[in-house]
Chain A
Amino acid sequence: MGKPILDIKKITKSYGEITALNNFSFSLKKGEVLGLLGPNGAGKTTLISILSGTVKDFSGTVTFKEKNLFSDRKLKNHMGIVPQDMAFYEDLNAFDNLMFWGGLYDISRAELKKRALELLDLVELSARAKEPIKNFSGGMKRRLNVAIGLIHKPELLLLDEPTVGIDVQAKVSILDIIKNVGVKGTSVIFTTHQLAEVEEICSRIVIMDKGTLLADGTLDQLIKIVGEKEIVDVEGDFSAADISEILKKIDFAEILSVNDNLVNLAFDNTDKIPSMMELLFKNNIPVSDLKIKSPNLEAVFLKLTGRSLRD
């Protein structure tokens, strides 16, 4: 596979007493599409800010294309970002935005114009290229946001929740674009709260929490963390404290996470489920629903972080 295009080593960054990143390391190879997962406060934003150069006071190294990312400003010509916000000028049209944002990179004007037209075609906005963006739908704006990130043909693209708040059709379109850029050799770091999206497009997944890397591997490798177990979700009108006390008494299931009204458990053998239900009924714990699922990324995430991705 060759040398990594991005190599992050032992990064630590603190804001006062809060440690946002703690000895955090990972690397990314050319053409890899990496899903970066972590609940709020995990350190994803700090990591992106370090890569953009807006956070400077940290320890550790960031190597990009075998060079210190911060030693040569021109290296940034090979990196792109799609921020979570619609980071463009709504009073300009789509074409003007592409020309402006592309103009910040070292590309000739002729090449930039050609690239802008290609991208407008790719994100299906050619027909509305000269319309003010304020008239665009949410999905169209998201597609333009992605196009701006690709205007300078980056070798590394960071996407920070690029599918937030859009309809299914627009989401599918954006995920297709991301998959295609990966196929064409662009390395991608993709953060999202939608585990299904990660499962669909990422060749590798990194899970982080509280500034620390918890897991790194392919989907299959991560699922092995949960093992050959069945995942059981128990829903009902109960408190986390009440049900925790009762579940301590069972030894035939692994507790993945406990919340008010929802418990996630991993069973080696589903034959033991009736025993658990009997115990809950005996202790007057009302159960309204029970779901049995195969091991998935959500179960891995719950096992590693003890909370769901949206917490």
Chain B
Amino acid sequence: MRRILLIFKNDVKRRLKSPYAVLVLLLIPIAMTGIIGAIFSPSENKLPKINVLVVDKDKNIASKFLLGAFDSPQLKEMFQVSIVDETEGKRLISKGNASALIVIPEKFSDRLIKAEKSEFLLIKNPSQQFLPNIVEEFMTTFSVIISGIVQVFEPEIKAVDRLLNIPLEQVSIAAMTPFLEQSKSKIVTLKNYLSPLLIQLKEEVTGKKKEEPGLNIFSVVLPGMSIMFLLFIIEIFLRDILAEREDGKLQRMMFAPLRAMEFVFARIISGWMMGICVYLVTILLGILLFDISWGNYLYLFLFTAVTCFWIASFFALLNSFFRNRNQAGAFSAPIILVFSAFGGSILPVNQLPEAFHWISLITLNQWFIRGVDQIRSGIFPSISFGVLLLSGMLLFLFASQFLKKRITV
């Protein structure tokens, strides 16, 4: 055991002195997760501002009311309104520079006062799916409200209109009094309905706030990416077996009172432990950079440990068949890429053709991604854990026997 620990400590020291290869392989999945996450996740939950072009042919009280509504703080958050002439407006909308163009017809205010029908023209940008519909919904609501107001206050509006058309010296306060009284009573009645509203919405939240897994896209991407590169990293550690055989270090070690099995265990344990250390850094970077909540950290540690054990045993077994480092490099990289392609590191498994789904079951990546997903939901991934532990132990048994045979002839 002392010699196993000595080899492990020596490996750690060596990796710390030349950490660049491991650092690069550690940072690549982090960078890729950052890029993919930035592309596919909306940075905020708000909609982008809707660009609306308005052609005001009326330039009177009603059109000013509409433009004033757009200028209210609530709608200002939602809409970016630009006043344009009709030609410019049609040119901009045809170029796709706005979501909708609203044309307020000439004499819109006059027709409203006379309670005559009038029409807005709404031109929607065909290349946008939702935003023009929001403008349409808003204009429909606005039209209903204005129509309602006009119908309720029709006599008063008409009276006001008449008053506006006679010289000021002929205006009789006595004649206006009945209309003002009538208007006042309608406003008071309406006020009773509108303030406070007769029907109100009462909000109630039950239970504690719980983050839904999958809401953070980085937490979906990082496990797949990181397991692919963890395979590469542990493969590099285990390739030392071949390097040491080639350059005489193994011969020198076997000249010492070191058993062949101790050397095999030292190599596997070293790859296993350093894999865990590297993955713990990945987990930490995931928290710090992407605000990932990994769920239960004890489960995650146990699952990471069993995963790294599996990988170390797997590559120890592979290296017992390879003749040299070049052969190991040539075969290991395609194996890792196949694991990653079919195991969900590059594309989610459900995006692959159905015929390939069963292949994912023989990849480490698929079991790891599944397991981490469950841990993030607070569930211990017993099936993934069991599969990796049992298959890892089998790989370890085979690897130790085959490697021992390769070391001693």
- Asked if A87 meets B257 with Cβ closer than 8 Å, knowing A54-B407, A132-B17, the reply is no
Chain B residues with Cβ under 8 A from A57's Cβ? Answer: 409
Instruction: State whether B252 touches A105 (Cβ < 8 A).
Output: no
Chain A residues with Cβ under 8 A from B259's Cβ? Answer: 73
- The listed residue with most A CB atoms (<10 A of its CB), out of B6, B18, B256, B408, is B256
Instruction: State whether B10 touches A100 (Cβ < 8 A).
Output: yes
Within 8 A of B (CB), among A38-80: 48-49, 51-57, 73-77, 79-80
Q: Give me 6 other A-B pairs in contact (C-beta within 8 A), A87-B249, A104-B3 excluded.
A: A51-B255, A52-B251, A73-B259, A88-B249, A92-B17, A105-B256
Q: In the complex, A81→B13 CA distance in Å?
A: 24
A89 within 8 Å of B (CB atoms): yes
Instruction: State whether B408 touches A105 (Cβ < 8 A).
Output: no
Chain A residues with Cβ under 8 A from B18's Cβ? Answer: 91
Q: In the complex, A58→B341 CA distance in Å?
A: 47
User: Which residues of A are interface residues toward B (Cβ below 8 A)?
Assistant: 48-49, 51-57, 73-77, 79-81, 83-89, 91-92, 96, 100-101, 103-106, 132, 148, 158
User: Which residues of B are interface residues toward A (Cβ below 8 A)?
Assistant: 3, 6, 10, 13-14, 17-18, 247-260, 407-409
Chain A residues with Cβ under 8 A from B247's Cβ? Answer: 85-87
- A84 touches which of B10, B248, B256, B409 (Cβ 8 Å): B248
Q: In the complex, A52→B252 CA distance in Å?
A: 8
Question: Closest residue of chain A to B249, judged by CB?
Answer: A87
Instruction: State whether B17 touches A148 (Cβ < 8 A).
Output: no
Chain A residues with Cβ under 8 A from B256's Cβ? Answer: 76-77, 101, 104-105
Chain B residues with Cβ under 8 A from A101's Cβ? Answer: 252, 256
Q: In the complex, A160→B253 CA distance in Å?
A: 15
Instruction: State whether B257 touches A74 (Cβ < 8 A).
Output: yes
Chain B residues with Cβ under 8 A from A103's Cβ? Answer: 3, 6
Chain A residues with Cβ under 8 A from B10's Cβ? Answer: 89, 92, 100
Chief secondary structure at chain B's binding surface: helix
Chain A residues with Cβ under 8 A from B248's Cβ? Answer: 83-87
Chain B residues with Cβ under 8 A from A83's Cβ? Answer: 248, 251-252
Q: List 24 A-B contacts (CB under 8 A).
A: A48-B251, A49-B251, A53-B255, A53-B408, A54-B251, A54-B254, A54-B409, A56-B408, A57-B409, A73-B259, A77-B257, A80-B255, A81-B255, A83-B248, A87-B251, A88-B249, A92-B17, A96-B13, A100-B10, A103-B3, A103-B6, A104-B258, A148-B252, A158-B255
Q: In the complex, A77→B17 CA distance in Å?
A: 29
- Asked if A92 meets B251 with Cβ closer than 8 Å, knowing A74-B257, A100-B6, the reply is no
- B408 touches which of A55, A80, A104, A106 (Cβ 8 Å): A55
Chain B residues with Cβ under 8 A from A55's Cβ? Answer: 408-409
Chain A residues with Cβ under 8 A from B3's Cβ? Answer: 103-104
Instruction: State whether A79 touches B255 (Cβ < 8 A).
Output: yes
Question: Closest residue of chain B to A50, judged by CB?
Answer: B409
Chain A residues with Cβ under 8 A from B250's Cβ? Answer: 54
Chain B residues with Cβ under 8 A from A51's Cβ? Answer: 255
Instruction: State whether A92 touches B14 (Cβ < 8 A).
Output: yes
B337–chain A nearest beta-carbon distance, Å: 28
- B254 touches which of A53, A75, A91, A92 (Cβ 8 Å): A53
Instruction: State whether B409 touches A105 (Cβ < 8 A).
Output: no
B107–chain A nearest beta-carbon distance, Å: 87
